[in-house]
Amino acid sequence: FFFSRFLVEENGKNEREVACFIKAPAIALKKLKCKVVNDTSSLVVDDSEELVSNVISIECSDCEKTIPFPINIAIPFTSCFRGNYREIMVKMTDVNFQSNYLTPVSLERYQGNHKETFAEVKIHQLGVFSVLSCLKKEAFTVPKVGLSQKLSADSRISFCYQPETFSSPAPMQLEIQPIEPSLVLTLKAKHDMYHSVVSTSALVYVQHPSAQPFNSSVTVTLPCPPNPEKKRQGEEAEHVRAISATVKRVATAYHPRAMSASVRKNGENLSDTLKLLGHRNKEEGWKVFDDVIIQNARNGLVSFELNEHLESFVVIRLSFLLENTYLILFAEALEEALCSTMANVILYRKREDPRKIVVLLSASKELTCELQNLHEEGYFGPPEPTQQFPLREGEQIHFRFRGNIFASENGKDFGEMYRLIFHSQRKPRLELQIKEVDEFGNHSSPHYKGTAVFYKIAKEMITKKWEQALPYGEYQYQSPLCKSALTLPKQEKLINRPRSSKRMSSDSSEALWDNLLYWLAEELAEDNTSLLALCLPVRRSLVQLVRLKCPDNLTHQIYELLCCWEKTLPRSADKQQLLSRYLRKSGRSDLSEELRFKWQNKVFT
Number of C-beta neighbours around residue 505 at 10 A: 11
Band of the pLDDT at 465, cuts 50, 70, 90? confident
**Could you tell me which residue, 507 or 95, shows the higher pLDDT?**
95
CATH number where 516 lies: 1.10.533.10
436 exposure class (CB count in 10 Å sphere: 0-12, 13-18, 19+): buried
Q: Answer yes or no: do 112 and 237 share one domain.
A: no
| Residue span of the structural domain in which 142 resides | 138-227+272-338
Q: Considering 290, 322, 338, which residue would you say is the last residue of a domain? A: 338
The verdict on residue 425 lying in a domain is yes
CATH number where 60 lies: 2.60.220
pLDDT confidence of residue 26:
84
Q: Considering 135, 161, 182, which residue would you say is the last residue of a domain? A: 135
The verdict on residue 605 lying in a domain is no
Q: Give the mean pLDDT of 452-464.
A: 90
CATH number where 470 lies: 2.60.40.2660
Adjacent-strand bridge partners of 66: none
Any residues with CB less than 8 A from the CB of 107 and at least 6 apart, and which?
88, 117, 118, 119, 120
Q: Give the mean pLDDT of 36-52.
A: 92
Q: Answer yes or no: do 298 and 188 share one domain.
A: yes
Q: Answer yes or no: do 169 and 243 share one domain.
A: no
Q: Answer yes or no: do 171 and 223 share one domain.
A: yes
On whether the CB atoms of residues 212 and 168 are closer than 8 A, the answer is: yes
pLDDT confidence of residue 499:
43
Q: Answer yes or no: do 452 and 358 share one domain.
A: yes
The verdict on residue 163 lying in a domain is yes
575-590: per-residue pLDDT in tens?
888 888 888 888 888 8
Domain count across the chain: 5
Residue 307, pLDDT > 80, answer yes
Any residues with CB less than 8 A from the CB of 486 and at least 6 apart, and which?
347, 357, 383, 401, 403, 405, 434, 449, 450, 451, 452
Q: Answer yes or no: do 466 and 539 share one domain.
A: no
Q: Which long-range contacts (CB under 8 A, 24 or more apart) does 292-301 make?
A: 296/226, 296/272, 297/221, 299/223, 300/223, 300/224, 300/225, 300/226, 301/156, 301/221, 301/222, 301/223, 301/224
Adjacent-strand bridge partners of 33: 59
Q: What H or E segment, with its residue span, contains residue 326?
A: helix 324-338
Q: Answer yes or no: do 208 and 308 share one domain.
A: yes
Q: Answer yes or no: do 121 and 82 share one domain.
A: yes
CA angle 188, 194, 196 (to 5 degrees): 105
On whether the CB atoms of residues 425 and 332 are closer than 8 A, the answer is: no
Band of the pLDDT at 556, cuts 50, 70, 90? confident
Q: Answer yes or no: do 61 and 195 share one domain.
A: no
The verdict on residue 494 lying in a domain is no
The verdict on residue 25 lying in a domain is yes
Closest CA to 346 of 377, 322, 316: 377
Q: What H or E segment, with its residue span, contains residue 20?
A: strand 16-24
pLDDT confidence of residue 246:
46
**Could you tell me which residue, 406 or 65, shows the higher pLDDT?**
406
Residue 533, pLDDT > 80, answer no
The Cα 490–Cα 546 span in angstroms is: 11
Lowest mean pLDDT among 117-131, 216-230, 556-570: 556-570
The verdict on residue 565 lying in a domain is yes
Q: Give the mean pLDDT of 179-184.
A: 93
477-498: per-residue pLDDT in tens?
788 999 999 999 887 655 454 4
The Cα 528–Cα 525 span in angstroms is: 5
On whether the CB atoms of residues 72 and 81 are closer than 8 A, the answer is: no
Q: Considering 135, 169, 194, which residue would you say is the last residue of a domain? A: 135
Q: Answer yes or no: do 194 and 126 share one domain.
A: no
The verdict on residue 123 lying in a domain is yes
- What dihedral do alpha carbons 124, 128, 134, 137 form, nearest 10°? -30
Residue 245, pLDDT > 70, answer no
Q: Answer yes or no: do 291 and 374 share one domain.
A: no
Cα radius of gyration rounded to whole Å, the chain: 37
Any residues with CB less than 8 A from the CB of 22 and at least 6 apart, and which?
3, 4, 6, 29, 32, 34, 58, 71, 72, 73, 74
Q: Answer yes or no: do 207 and 291 share one domain.
A: yes
